Amino acid sequence: MSAIQLKQIHVNVQNKHILKGIDLTIEEGDFVTLLGPSGCGKTTLLRTIAGLQKLDEGTIVIAGKEVANGSMSFHMDPAKRGVSLVFQSYALWPHMTVFDNVAFGLQIRKLGKPEIRQCVMASLDKMRIPELADRYPGELSGGQQQRVAIARAIVTSPEILLLDEPLSNLDAKLRTEMRAELKRLHGELGTTIVYVTHDQQEAMTMSTKVAVFFGGELVQVDTPRELYRHPKTLQVAEFMGSGDHKLNQVEGICRNSGNECYIRTPLGDFRVAEEDGDPDRGVVMTLKPEDIVLHEKRKEGLIPVKVKDVHPSGAESLIRIDYGDVQLTARILGDPEFEPGQLLYAEIREDRINMYDKQTGCRLEPVTFYIKPAMEELQR
């Protein structure tokens, strides 16, 4: 049985159409991340699943039970949905100790004192903070408060844990630590987790599946690997390749010749299968910096490039290179002693190339072969 089924969810907030027909099925034990730029509707969807936001159309089924139905104006009480929500702000009660904060959900269920003690301590153990039980939130660091907030959410053994950017208030080091903790916790508890973030790396590290949103619409739901390798649209590719992950984009022309299309780009020619005989059009080829390997010695199949500049950042370096008029960025491990103007030879990992229709932004597939520029062309 699926843990959560969302069908055609539409949500308006103050007359603004925020969620526009979301269909998403989340399986039991999945760690699904809702990923997208600020304002795309991730939090609204999480709140809708939790029951804190009413939907206008569509249905939500949790563990086989319908909990919301737009056409029938049915919205089950949040407390009855079997989900637990952790907010970005930890929302701990300042006048209560850590123990009491975590125990609260059990106390209102009228459990006996020994049972409460056992559950609270087990939950604090899982978050590796049993020694903080008697402290007050004001005496804790941000990371510790976040652990308490998660301990409070898991103490009632919810079937589903909803987390809204829970790490965004932490510094970089703590964030990395907490990512590992959440992944461990998911492995240990087997709980279904729905996690909201706008941080691609966070999504890639922890999730079993990532759902990418833009403007209230779901664009791609895939495993992190598939999302990384084959973004479905240029917009997704650009979003995944933003920040330090600068995506290389090279424009080309796609010419149709019956059943196949030939794509000509400055980096070589490609063939893609064509289904609907579209006319000639512009395409964008994308390639990640880590999919360009730089060599100092010339070899067959490599492309001669000139170093423009080098940006070392300790463990890795970004090298901007020019091939004729085309500027590319390569990412390599370490801190190489390349000089601006130096001639190098680039190996393009052709299996990592993606092609998109420039106008629609949709991915063209599959690239059936790649003809590299002729050697004499390479001499320029």
Residues binding ligand ATP (CB under 6 A): 13-14, 16, 18, 36, 38-44, 198
Q: What is the C-alpha separation between 131 and 96, in angstroms, rounded?
A: 16
Min dist CB 34 to ligand ATP, Å, is 8
Minimum distance between the CB of residue 69 and ligand ATP, rounded to whole angstroms?
A: 21
Residue 166: CB partners within 8 Å, gap ≥ 6? 86, 87, 88, 146, 149, 150, 178, 182, 195
Closer by beta carbon to ligand ATP, 13 or else 318: 13
Strand partners, 2: 27
Closest C-alpha among 378, 283, 297 to residue 345: 297
If the CB atoms of residues 36 and 105 are measured against ligand ATP, the closer one turns out to be 36
- CB closer to ligand ATP out of 40 and 227: 40
Question: 41 or 224, CB closer to ligand ATP?
Answer: 41
Closer residue to ligand ATP (CB): 18 or 302? 18
Residue indicated by tokens 């005989």: 277
Tell me which H or E stretch contains 142.
helix 142-154
Non-local (6+) Cβ contacts of 79 within 8 A are: none
Instruction: HSE, CB side, 13 Å, CA atoms: give it for residue 84.
Output: 19
Minimum separation from the CB atom of position 161 to ligand ATP (A): 17
Smaller CB separation from ligand ATP, 43 or 354 = 43
Query: What is the spatial order of strands in the sheet that 316-323 belongs to?
Result: 292-295, 343-348, 303-312, 316-323, 326-333
Tell which residue, 166, 168, 171, 162, has the closest CA to residue 141: 171
Q: How far is the CB of 52 from ligand ATP (least distance, A)?
A: 11
Instruction: Compute the least distance from the CB of residue 19 to ligand ATP, in Å.
Output: 8
Compute CA distances 98 → 58, 142, 170, 224, 365, whole Å. 39, 13, 19, 35, 54
| Minimum distance from residue 207 beta carbon to ligand ATP (Å) | 16
CA 323 – CA 304 distance, rounded (Å): 7
Give the residue with the Cβ less far from ligand ATP, 14 or 379.
14
**Cβ of residue 163: shortest distance to ligand ATP, in angstroms?**
12
